Amino acid sequence: MPVLPATHSGITKAVQALLEGLPVGMPTETVYGLACDARSDMAVARVFAAKGRPSFNPLIVHVDSLASAQSLVEFDPLSLQLAQRFWPGPLTLVLKRRAECPISWLVSAGLDTLALRVPNHPVALQLLAAAAIPLAAPSANPSGRLSPTQANHVQLQDSDVEVLDGGPCAVGVESSVVRVVDGRAWLLRPGGLARADIEQVTGPLASPSTLDGLEPETNQPYAQGSAPQHSPGQLLAHYAPSRPLRLDAREVAENEALLAFGRHVLPGAGAVLNLSESGDVTEAAANLFAYLRTLDREPFQAIAVMPIPHEGLGEAICDRLRRAAVGAALAADR
Ligand code: TXA
Ligand code: MG
């Protein structure tokens, strides 16, 4: 895919493409997004098509400021506190669309809510300022595969899509998705902002793993088995490399590559990448997708993954690994 430098002329070119209704690869602090004009049905449809994304899975809208977000959605007091505290940053808030909200209904996948965030990346903020439109952007990977954390990891069917190069993503896992319902905050997707940080503002977070999801439209619990999960995109199989993943490995088989964590690396693997030698989960998150990508190769038949603690960004890492393991198993079945 053509890569644009994050210079004045690169950004001008990207803006031109966006205003013509074309998708553009955009760096953020979490992962690279496939951005488009969020108001245009045609542009949004192109993004769904480029990813092969199921249309029931809504997109995140990126804006340059809280004030811009407030023109699109209604903020309850707790969501407002979260935005004031954590934006720009890796937190996405799901909020009710205003009646006059100009965002394409495809973005919301027919729900009356919108997921929004202000990304904390200078190139994304420059692009938002220069384009002066809200940008819908899912992660820039084919649906179900690993998210890109570098410009050259953006690989889509449509090879004409230009990608703005903002360097490697500092956070490395997607944003945390939060929704407040009747004053209670739900963590719909663990991500780049740790649970403990969010809970400083919200108190204990409810989550679809502790309680079954709420139906977004009615705020009623989903009928048993009727919907994937509270956050519609949180399908169990996701973020997958093409080789099987074996989680919580205590030893390594001969044909396995090893994704290690911490100082005491399991012996015997033909290839080892260590997410963090010092056992730092924040560093591990930043390396996660790029390392999985690198280990997903011949002559290995599988990737063994050492246990990773659930604290801090470890919760998001373990969530992604669990989904990647299911996704890889399904891919192997096909
Ligand atoms: O860090 C990120 O969030 C990256 C960067 C590019 O910003 N974007 C990203 O987008 O991960 P995507 O499309 O891969 O994931 C969006 C998540 C999905 O789980 C989706 O279901 C959820 O947000 N979501 C979007 N709109 C929603 C809504 N109205 N209600 C509930 N969940 C929503
Ligand atoms: Mg994604």
Distance 316 CA to ligand 1 centre (A): 14
pLDDT in the model for residue 334: 53
Question: Rounded mean pLDDT of 225-245?
Answer: 63
Question: Rounded mean pLDDT of 146-163?
Answer: 93
Distance 51 CA to ligand 1 centre (A): 14
Distance 66 CA to ligand 2 centre (A): 23
Confidence of residue 235 (pLDDT cuts 50, 70, 90): low
Return the ligand 1 atom nearest residue 175 CA: 1
Tell me which of 331 and 217 has the higher pLDDT: 331
pLDDT in the model for residue 231: 56
The response to whether residue 314 sits with its C-beta less than 6 Å from ligand 1 reads: no
Confidence of residue 66 (pLDDT cuts 50, 70, 90): very high
Question: Rounded mean pLDDT of 42-59?
Answer: 92
Residues with CB under 5 A from ligand 2 (ion): 139
- Distance CA(167)–CA(302), nearest Å, equals 29
- Distance CA(87)–CA(265), nearest Å, equals 37
Distance 191 CA to ligand 2 centre (A): 11
The response to whether residue 141 sits with its C-beta less than 6 Å from ligand 1 reads: no
What digits encode the pLDDT tens for the residues 164-173? 999 999 999 9
- DSSP class per residue in 33-54: EEEEETT-HHHHHHHHHHHT--
pLDDT in the model for residue 219: 44
pLDDT in the model for residue 249: 97
What digits encode the pLDDT tens for the residues 288-304? 999 999 999 999 999 99
Cβ neighbour number for residue 260 with a 10 Å cutoff: 23
Q: What sign has the CA pseudo-torsion 53, 96, 24, 290?
A: negative
pTM above 0.85? yes
pLDDT in the model for residue 84: 98
Q: Are residues 240 and 331 in contact, defined by beta-carbon separation less than 8 angstroms?
A: yes
pLDDT in the model for residue 157: 84
Question: Rounded mean pLDDT of 308-317?
Answer: 97
Most ligand 1 atoms within 8 A of CB, residue of 31, 55, 60 to mutate: 60
Q: Identify the nearest ligand to the CA of 35 by its number.
A: 1
Query: Considering the chain, what is the average pLDDT of its residues?
Result: 91
Distance 183 CA to ligand 2 centre (A): 27
Distance 106 CA to ligand 1 centre (A): 13
The response to whether residue 174 sits with its C-beta less than 6 Å from ligand 1 reads: yes
pLDDT in the model for residue 110: 86
Listed in sequence order, the residues at least 6 apart from 35 whose beta carbon sits closer than 8 Å to its beta carbon are: 18, 23, 24, 25, 26, 62, 127, 135, 136, 137
Distance (Å) of CA 192 to CA 30, 32, 90, 155, 178: 7, 13, 5, 23, 12
What digits encode the pLDDT tens for the residues 187-222? 999 999 999 999 999 999 987 754 344 444 444 444
pLDDT in the model for residue 135: 98
pLDDT in the model for residue 223: 44
What distance, in Å, lies between the first and last C-alpha atoms of the chain?
A: 27
Question: Rounded mean pLDDT of 253-261?
Answer: 97
Return the ligand 1 atom nearest residue 191 CA: 1
- Distance CA(91)–CA(178), nearest Å, equals 7
- Distance CA(61)–CA(155), nearest Å, equals 21
Does residue 225 have a pLDDT over 80? no
Percent of the residues in the chain that have a pLDDT greater than 70, as a whole number: 90
Does residue 44 have a pLDDT over 50? yes
